[in-house]
C-alpha cells in the first residue's frame, strides 16, 4: 500500500499568493468563508484523502468494479469511503447553500478535489460527476427540478452522471441519436450511451443521469440536442423512490486504468422509454453542457495535476529508501535520490507539478470571480480569462500529468513495471485524462477558435503582456536566480507572441493549417503560463525572504523550483513555437495513402 500526504503547505501557498484566496473570500456569498475556515476544510479533506481514500486505491485497482447479475458492485471499501464523504457534507462543498450545499468558493473545492483525485482517482470520479450534474441542473433547470434533485445530489444521497457519448458520437456530439419523445409532463428516452463514468454502482439509492438526446422534430446536428434528467429509479414529486426507470447497465468496460471506476454502457428505453425531464428548453442541450464545461474540464485538469503529485510522492519515497550503487560524488552507498539522474527526474516532476497547480488554481479562482464579483466588468473580464485558461489547464495539465506519472515508473526501475508497487497504476490511471471530457485536440480547437480567434487574440495578448512585464522586471532584478528566470521567461513569452501572431494571420486563410498547430500552441501556452505562475511565486518568495518569521527554507525552495523550470521547461517554448509556425506546414504534406 502506498501512502499520500496532502501537500497542504504548497496548496495554501498557491491559494493565497497566486490565486488570491483572500480576495475571493470577501466576494458576496463567500463572506462566511474565512481563511481560517478554508484552512480547517483543507486539513480535514486532506485527512480523509490520506486516511480514507488513499488506503483503498490499490486494492480498488486490483479488484475493479464488477458487474454482477446486471448491477455494478463497487470495489472493497468504496461504500464506507462514500459514506464518509456524505457524513461530512463533502459532495456539495461548493454547491449552493439554498439546496443544502456548503457554498464554498470553487477554488477551495479545486484544492479539495486535487487531494481526493491524488488519493484515489477511480473513487473520486463519482463525487466529481455528481458535482457536474449539480452544476448543470443548478445553471439550467427549472426551479421545480432544482428543488426535486439538487438537495439529494448535494447531500450525496443520490449520485449524478453525464451521458453524452454514443458509439457513433464521441468528440462529435452532433451525431447523437438517442431519442426523447414528449409524453405529458415528461419525455420518454430511448437509445444507447457508452463510456458513462459511474453509469451504474451501489453507492447510492438513486443515480441521476444527465442525458443528451434528440426530440423527433429537432434540427440536425448540435442545434437539435436537448438535455434531460433521467433518474435510475423513478421518483415522485416529493422525491420518494418509485419503481426502476427503463434504463439498464448492459456492460462495463475493461480499461487500461481507473479499474474501480465503472465505465458503463447504458441502454435506455428497451421497455418503451425511460422517464426523463427536460432541462431548460429543447434544443439548447449543448449550450447547457458548455455552461458546466468549464468546471468539468478544470476538474480533469486537476486530475492531471493530482495523479502527477501522487506519482511524485511515491517516487520520492522510493528514491529516499532504495539503495543501489554509490551515487557519483557520494562517499558511501546512499539512497538513489542522490543519483543525479534520479534527482533530475524528481526535480522535473516537482517543478512541473507546481507550475500546473499554480495555473489550475488561478483558473479556478477566475471562475469564482466570474461568478461572484459584484462588478459586471470584473465578472466579464474574469470570465474571459477563465475561459481562455480552461482548455489550457485541461490539455496541458493532463498531457504533462501522463509524462510525470511515467517518470514515476522510471524512478522505480524494474519495480515500477511490477504492478505490486503501485507506480504503474498512476500511469494507467493518468492515461485517460487526455481523452475524456474532450481530447487534447478538442481542447486545442476550443482554445484556437473560441478563446483566441473569436476576440481577435485580445484576451491572450493582454495576458501575455502581463507575463512579459513580469519577465522584464525579473530580468533586471539583482537576484541572480530571478534574473535567470526573467531572461528565460522573456524569450518564452516572445515565442508565445510569435505563435499567436502567426495563428491570427494564418487562420483566416488556412483553417486546416491553423488546426494542425492547435495542440502545439496549447502546449506552448501551458508551458509559458505555468512558468509565469512559478515566476510570480519566485518573485514573492524572494521579496518575503527577509520578513521576520519567514520560512526561509520553504521560500528558497520556491525560488529554486521556479529556476529549474525556467532552465529546463521554458526553453521548450522555442520548439513548440517552431511546431506551430514551421511544423504545421508539414503536417498535411502526405496524403492518407502515403502515411
Closest contact distance (angstroms) between CB of 257 and a second copy is 8
Q: Which is nearer to a second copy, 498 or 560 (CB)?
A: 560
Site for a second copy in 554-573 (CB under 8 A): 556-557, 560-561, 563-564, 567-568, 571-572
Closest contact distance (angstroms) between CB of 580 and a second copy is 10
575 binds a second copy (CB under 8 A): yes
Please tell me the distance from the alpha carbon of residue 573 to that of residue 129, in angstroms, as a whole number: 34
Handedness of CA 308, 310, 314, 320 (dihedral sign): positive
8-state DSSP, 74: P
Please tell me the distance from the alpha carbon of residue 530 to that of residue 527, in angstroms, as a whole number: 5
Window 136-175: contact mask with a second copy (x via CB under 8 A): -----------------------------x--x-xxx-xx
Closest contact distance (angstroms) between CB of 135 and a second copy is 22
Q: Which is nearer to a second copy, 387 or 399 (CB)?
A: 399
Site for a second copy in 382-421 (CB under 8 A): 402, 406, 409-410, 413-414, 416-420
Q: Which is nearer to a second copy, 121 or 366 (CB)?
A: 121
44 is catalytic: no
Q: Which of 366, 230, 265, 313 is nearest to 4 (CA)?
A: 313
490 binds a second copy (CB under 8 A): no
Tell me the three cell numbers of residue 143. Answer: 426551479
544 binds a second copy (CB under 8 A): no
195 binds a second copy (CB under 8 A): yes
DSSP, collapsed to helix, strand or coil, labels residue 215 as coil
List own/partner pairs for 447-452 with CB under 8 A and 24 or more apart. Answer: 447/388, 447/391, 447/392, 447/395, 447/518, 447/521, 447/522, 447/525, 448/503, 448/507, 448/514, 448/515, 448/517, 448/518, 448/521, 450/387, 451/387, 451/388, 451/390, 451/391, 452/388, 452/500, 452/503, 452/504
Concatenating the DSSP letter of every residue in 508-540 gives TT-HHHHHHTHHHHHHHHHHHHHHHHHHHHHHH
Q: Which is nearer to a second copy, 229 or 493 (CB)?
A: 493
Window 206-245: contact mask with a second copy (x via CB under 8 A): ----------------------------------------
Q: Which is nearer to a second copy, 51 or 172 (CB)?
A: 172
290 binds a second copy (CB under 8 A): no
Site for a second copy in 420-449 (CB under 8 A): 420, 424, 427-428, 431-432, 434-436, 439-441, 444
Please tell me the distance from the alpha carbon of residue 180 to that of residue 564, in angstroms, as a whole number: 55
8-state DSSP, 582: I
Closest contact distance (angstroms) between CB of 165 and a second copy is 7
Burial of 234 (0-12, 13-18, 19+ CB in 10 A): middle
Site for a second copy in 311-370 (CB under 8 A): 316, 319-320, 323-326, 328-329, 335, 337-344, 346-347, 350
Instruction: With contacts defined by CB under 8 A, name the span among 99-107, 125-133, 275-283, 550-558 that binds a second copy.
Output: 550-558
The angle formed by the CA atoms of residues 162, 166 and 168, to the nearest 5 degrees, is: 150
Closest contact distance (angstroms) between CB of 304 and a second copy is 14
Q: Which is nearer to a second copy, 508 or 592 (CB)?
A: 592
Closest contact distance (angstroms) between CB of 355 and a second copy is 14
CA distances (Å), origin 204, targets 82, 260, 362, 384: 9, 16, 33, 37
DSSP, collapsed to helix, strand or coil, labels residue 260 as coil
Q: Which is nearer to a second copy, 25 or 58 (CB)?
A: 58
Find out whether 181 and 215 touch, Cβ atoms under 8 Å.
yes
| Torsions phi, psi for 99 (to 5 deg) | -110, 25
Instruction: With contacts defined by CB under 8 A, name the span among 34-42, 234-242, 387-395, 584-592 that binds a second copy.
Output: 584-592
Site for a second copy in 469-488 (CB under 8 A): 484
From the CB of residue 536, how many other CB atoms can be counted at a distance below 10 Å?
Answer: 20
1 binds a second copy (CB under 8 A): no
264 binds a second copy (CB under 8 A): no
Find out whether 158 and 205 touch, Cβ atoms under 8 Å.
yes
Find out whether 126 and 201 touch, Cβ atoms under 8 Å.
yes
The angle formed by the CA atoms of residues 25, 28 and 32, to the nearest 5 degrees, is: 50
| Torsions phi, psi for 266 (to 5 deg) | -115, 130
Closest contact distance (angstroms) between CB of 444 and a second copy is 7
Find out whether 1 and 55 touch, Cβ atoms under 8 Å.
yes
Binding-site residue total for a second copy (CB under 8 A)? Answer: 93
454 binds a second copy (CB under 8 A): no
Site for a second copy in 64-103 (CB under 8 A): none
Site for a second copy in 510-529 (CB under 8 A): 511-513, 515-516, 518-519
Closest contact distance (angstroms) between CB of 394 and a second copy is 14
Q: Are strands 206-213 and 158-163 parallel, antiparallel or unpaired?
A: parallel
Q: Which is nearer to a second copy, 93 or 194 (CB)?
A: 194
Please tell me the distance from the alpha carbon of residue 419 to that of residue 432, in angstroms, as a whole number: 18
Closest contact distance (angstroms) between CB of 40 and a second copy is 27
From the CB of residue 264, how many other CB atoms can be counted at a distance below 10 Å?
Answer: 26
Catalytic residue among 43, 138, 437, 473: 437
User: Which residues are tagged catalytic?
Assistant: 437
Amino acid at each position: 500500500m502506498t501512502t499520500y500526504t496532502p501537500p497542504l503547505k504548497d496548496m495554501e501557498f498557491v491559494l493565497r499568493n497566486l490565486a488570491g484566496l483572500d480576495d475571493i473570500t470577501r466576494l458576496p456569498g463567500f463572506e462566511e468563508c474565512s481563511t481560517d475556515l478554508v484552512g480547517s476544510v483543507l486539513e480535514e479533506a486532506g485527512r480523509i484523502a490520506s486516511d480514507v481514500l488513499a488506503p483503498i486505491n490499490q486494492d480498488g485497482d486490483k479488484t475493479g468494479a464488477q458487474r454482477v447479475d446486471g448491477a455494478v458492485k463497487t470495489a472493497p471499501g468504496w461504500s464506507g469511503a462514500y459514506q464518509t464523504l456524505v457524513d461530512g457534507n463533502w459532495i456539495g462543498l461548493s454547491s449552493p447553500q439554498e439546496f443544502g450545499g456548503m457554498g464554498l468558493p470553487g477554488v477551495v473545492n479545486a484544492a479539495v478535489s486535487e487531494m481526493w483525485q491524488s488519493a484515489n482517482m477511480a473513487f473520486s470520479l463519482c463525487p466529481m460527476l455528481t458535482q457536474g450534474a449539480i452544476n448543470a441542473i443548478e445553471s439550467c433547470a427549472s426551479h421545480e427540478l432544482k428543488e426535486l434533485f439538487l438537495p439529494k445530489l448535494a447531500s450525496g444521497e443520490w449520485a449524478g452522471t453525464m451521458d453524452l457519448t454514443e458509439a457513433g458520437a464521441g468528440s462529435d456530439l452532433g451525431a447523437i441519436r438517442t431519442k426523447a419523445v414528449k409524453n405529458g409532463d415528461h419525455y420518454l428516452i430511448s437509445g444507447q450511451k457508452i463510456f458513462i463514468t459511474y453509469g451504474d454502482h451501489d453507492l447510492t439509492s438513486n443515480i441521476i443521469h444527465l442525458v443528451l438526446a434528440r426530440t423527433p422534430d429537432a434540427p440536425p446536428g448540435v442545434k437539435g440536442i436537448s438535455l434531460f434528467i433521467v433518474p435510475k429509479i423513478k421518483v415522485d414529486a416529493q422525491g420518494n423512490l418509485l419503481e426502476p426507470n427503463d434504463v439498464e447497465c448492459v456492460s462495463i468496460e475493461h480499461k487500461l486504468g481507473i479499474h474501480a471506476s465503472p465505465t458503463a454502457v447504458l441502454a435506455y428505453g428497451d421497455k418503451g422509454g425511460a422517464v426523463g425531464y427536460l432541462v431548460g428548453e429543447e434544443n439548447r442541450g449543448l449550450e447547457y453542457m458548455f455552461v458546466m464545461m468549464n468546471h468539468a474540464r478544470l476538474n480533469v485538469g486537476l486530475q492531471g495535476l493530482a495523479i502527477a503529485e501522487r506519482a511524485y510522492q511515491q517516487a520520492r519515497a522510493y528514491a529516499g529508501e532504495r539503495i543501489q550503487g554509490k551515487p557519483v560524488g557520494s562517499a558511501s552507498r546512499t539512497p538513489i535520490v542522490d543519483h543525479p539522474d534520479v534527482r533530475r527526474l524528481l526535480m522535473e516532476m516537482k517543478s512541473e507539478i507546481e507550475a500546473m497547480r499554480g495555473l489550475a488554481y488561478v483558473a479556478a479562482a477566475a471562475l469564482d470571480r466570474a461568478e461572484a464579483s459584484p462588478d459586471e466588468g470584473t465578472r466579464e473580464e474574469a470570465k474571459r480569462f477563465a475561459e481562455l485558461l480552461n482548455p489550457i489547464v485541461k490539455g496541458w495539465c493532463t498531457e504533462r500529468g501522463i509524462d510525470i506519472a511515467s517518470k514515476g515508473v522510471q524512478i522505480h526501475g524494474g519495480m515500477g513495471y511490477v504492478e505490486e508497487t503501485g507506480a504503474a497504476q498512476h500511469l494507467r490511471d493518468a492515461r485517460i485524462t487526455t481523452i475524456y471530457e474532450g481530447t487534447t485536440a478538442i481542447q486545442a480547437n476550443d482554445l484556437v477558435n473560441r478563446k483566441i480567434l473569436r476576440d481577435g487574440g485580445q484576451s491572450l495578448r493582454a495576458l501575455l503582456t502581463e507575463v512579459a512585464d513580469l519577465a522584464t522586471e525579473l530580468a533586471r532584478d539583482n537576484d541572480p536566480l530571478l534574473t535567470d528566470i526573467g531572461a528565460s521567461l522573456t524569450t518564452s513569452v516572445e515565442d508565445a507572441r510569435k505563435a499567436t501572431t502567426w495563428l491570427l494571420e494564418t487562420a483566416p486563410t488556412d483553417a486546416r493549417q491553423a488546426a494542425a498547430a492547435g495542440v502545439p500552441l496549447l502546449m506552448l501556452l501551458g508551458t509559458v503560463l505555468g512558468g509565469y505562475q512559478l515566476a510570480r511565486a519566485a518573485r514573492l518568495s524572494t521579496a518575503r525572504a527577509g520578513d521576520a518569521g519567514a520560512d526561509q527554507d520553504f521560500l528558497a525552495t520556491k525560488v529554486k523550483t521556479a529556476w529549474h523550470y525556467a532552465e529546463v521547461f521554458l526553453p521548450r517554448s522555442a520548439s513548440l513555437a517552431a511546431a506551430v509556425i514551421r511544423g504545421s506546414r508539414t503536417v498535411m504534406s502526405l496524403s492518407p495513402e502515403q502515411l
